[in-house]
Structure 1
Amino acid sequence: MLYSLVSSGRLHAPDQAEPTVPWWSFTKTVLAATALSLVRDGLIGLDDPVSDELFTLRQLLRHEAGLADYGELPDYHAAVANGESAWPVEYMMQRLDGTRLRYAPGAGWRYSNVGYWLVGRLIERLTALTLDEAVERRALAPLGLANVRFAKTREEMRNSPLGANPDYDPAWVYHGLLIGPLSQAALLLDRLLAGSLLPQALMGEMRTARMLSGPIDGRPWKTAGYGLGVMQGSIEGGIGLCGHTGQGPGSTIAVYRAAVGDASACCAVYAMSSTEGLVETVAVERLLRMFE
């Protein structure tokens, strides 16, 4: 298990060279930050309809757009487990009936990777850049990150500690899969939530969550919800927690930030485990130690 800590804006340097790891669904936080930079710059409004669709950018970012998720397809999981190459996006959408809304936008909640694929397409359209270029210029570079990129090939994944599936095709993550050192994930979240990229009003929008549950068995959440690209809730002692957990074949990443008074801490944990609660619990334990 690997971990990286930032406290009060300062990175606790790792003892040894860090491997490059997949950020899995923590990539969604970076996509949300990039999309919100478009709102900051007046290129789109949070509550503007996306293209000719019925849903808004806010609803896409908070999984309230009514879209399904390809993760519900058994054949998707079987293909990934068999080491197959990713389906073309058109085929995936056809298999999923992905353009059909499952509920009226804003009337429900359903986690959707398809929604974030659409966020990526929106970013490309509004910036006239590739997603890689837009994320680099609007999020990674302004936040001072290094050695973070989108994985394109199986070879890039083989150089990461992946556990169960070392021959994974990163194209299975249709919205894009960022890879990089854990320290950079911790720094990104810490700087983003500290207000280094977005104005205070937009940060408030990002962290306004649709609350989904109370305590979750096997996980450290006392309350849990979803904001704009971030999981948001409370942990032991009523401390607020904000960040994202991501999971892929055989490994999990959890990146979270908490603040107590004027002190803040951010922890990124990566483990070759498919148990989200285990990795989140380690992140929370290390965060709480920072406040002792």
Structure 2
Amino acid sequence: MSSRTEQQIMQGWDPAAEPLLTITCPAYNQREYIAQTLDSFLAQQTDFPFEILVNDDASHDGTAGVIANYAARYPRLIRPVFHQQNQYQQGKYCFPALFNMARGRYIAYCDGDDYWCDPLKLQKQVDFLQAHPDYVITYHDAVVVDAQGEHGLQLGPQLRCNATNMDLLKGRRISTLTAVFRNVLHELPRELEQAPMLDLCWWSLLGAYGKGKYMPDIAPGGYRVHCGGVFSMRSNKRKIHMSLQTHMALANYYQHQGDQKLYEHYLVQVFGLALAAISPGQKLRALALMLRNVTFNLFKRLNFSATRG
């Protein structure tokens, strides 16, 4: 458990000020990891007030008890939310409800089994956002951690860079546990309500508000891979299916928004993911069907042009 007291953490803060940033942390059956996660929040050194909003989705392994103990020790910092029935299993996500409970101007996100390593992480990210109103999100890298230790960085070299508005709109991949962004996501469009990978939807929606800043000077966080992970331990086939559902939801959303460019972008992603999900024989049949449809549409357009001519 963190050795810092609540008074030590809040030293130098304006006691009358509202939190400038809210850390949002969903947790479920993560008793083995949640203490390290919360300790990494409490290790943050900032000159601004922040709060910690922890959502326990009816854990049955003692996770809620650990959260309650921390909340009792840090009552002015930690706001716990305890559910009696599991919301995820009922198809209900804790977002954007948790974002709407946040009092901060900025949101930091970290799952209950991941953790941060840089005590100045929040200070650096908020300082940047305060000074650059054209940016909506900041992020950095994370190391993949399992029972055997660390296994390299989560982001590839091509993703360790800034993101334009369009990069975000197109679902730019970001290490979710590292993100700090402006608190502007108050509603989830109907088309995205059942998307399994909500973080991808967040980045796309944030693209309407600004750009993304990659911050290489922040020490990588820890992205934990274990048998209880909601996404990390899914089979490759299941991960493809989840990604397929999410991209299809985004395609529907942008179609209803009248954005043809983004609609087509996500349809292309859906096509690629669909091919990845089927057997080699089905791939050939799908490609043959696509070629037939493209040829038919091409001749149809050529015939229409000739008739008009």
Please state which band the TM-score falls in when normalised by the shorter chain.
under 0.3
Higher RCO (CA-CA < 8 Å; seq separation 6+): 1
In proportion to residue count, which structure has more helix? Answer: 2
Tell me the TM-score normalized by structure 1: 0.27
The TM-score with structure 2 as length reference comes to: 0.26
Bigger radius of gyration: 2
